[in-house]
Amino acid sequence: MILTYANQLTILRMLFVPCFVLLMIYEHPKAATVLFLIAAVTDGLDGLIARKLQQKTVLGSFLDPMADKLLLTAAFITLTVPSVPVVLHIPTWLTVWTISRDVLIALSALIIHLQTQHSQFPPSFLGKCTTALQLVTVGVCMLANFYANFAMAIFDFVTYTTLVLTFASGLHYAYRSIKIIASYQEAGNVSSGD
């Protein structure tokens, strides 16, 4: 069974992405907030269901992070656009750095795979923390539509902390990539020397 219950939830989360963007653009930030919260809940549920029902699949291991990235990237871009009617906007510089990091990680993974056939790139703890904080950044922006004063009070701290973690996790992924390539080259040298 390829489309397990967990995979179906993940696909549902992907379908929420255009709905979220359209709700934001057409001035329904509160409905978009509810949808974003539901998407966040499905993110936790799909992993829990996959573990409890022993339904972990290769498809799920690709779909789950893809769904997270689609939702986060769509939310970051939408909440950066000045014309979108929200109380708080994510700074353009944070969106640019966040997306740039993700693109560099994806390109590094592709190059490593093409060069070494290495296909396992599990997220690091630092990477998971960065994703969590990026979700918090979006959450604070959405919260501002309900509790503006509280959201504004913590927004600068959240955005700058997200920036620091984005840089740190990007450097960590670069370090891991270099280690993978180096170990592959060392293994190649050893086998050619035998």
Average pLDDT over the chain, rounded to an integer: 83
What is residue 58's predicted lDDT score, i.e. its pLDDT? Answer: 66
pLDDT value, residue 121: 66
> What's at 111, amino acid-wise?
I
Closest residue by Cα to residue 145 from 87, 76, 80: 87
Q: What are phi and psi of 30, to 5 degrees?
A: -70, -40
> Residue 192: which pLDDT band, with cuts at 50, 70 and 90?
low
Over residues 6-60, the pLDDT tens digits come to 778 788 888 999 999 999 999 898 899 899 888 888 877 776 776 776 767 666 6
Query: Are 102 and 73 in contact, with CB atoms under 8 Å apart?
Result: yes
Please give the Cα distance from 9 to 46 (Å, whole number): 6
More confident residue, 97 or 177: 97
Low-confidence winner among 78-82, 153-157, 180-184 (lowest mean pLDDT): 180-184
Largest CA distance in the chain: 68
The pLDDT value given to residue 180:
76
pLDDT at 48: 73
Task: Residue 158: name the closest of 193, 129, 134, 142 by CA.
Answer: 134
Least confident of 90-99, 151-160, 172-181: 172-181
**Quick one: tokens of 157?**
């701290």
Cα angle 22, 23, 28 (rounded to 5 degrees) comes to 150
In 3D space, the residue among 118, 137, 128 whose CA is nearest the CA of residue 78 turns out to be 137
Note the pTM of the prediction, 2 decimals.
Answer: 0.82
By the 8 A CB rule, do 79 and 138 touch?
yes
Gyration radius of the chain over CA positions: 19
Q: Is the pLDDT of residue 165 over 80?
A: yes
**Using the 8-state DSSP alphabet, how is residue 115 labeled?**
H
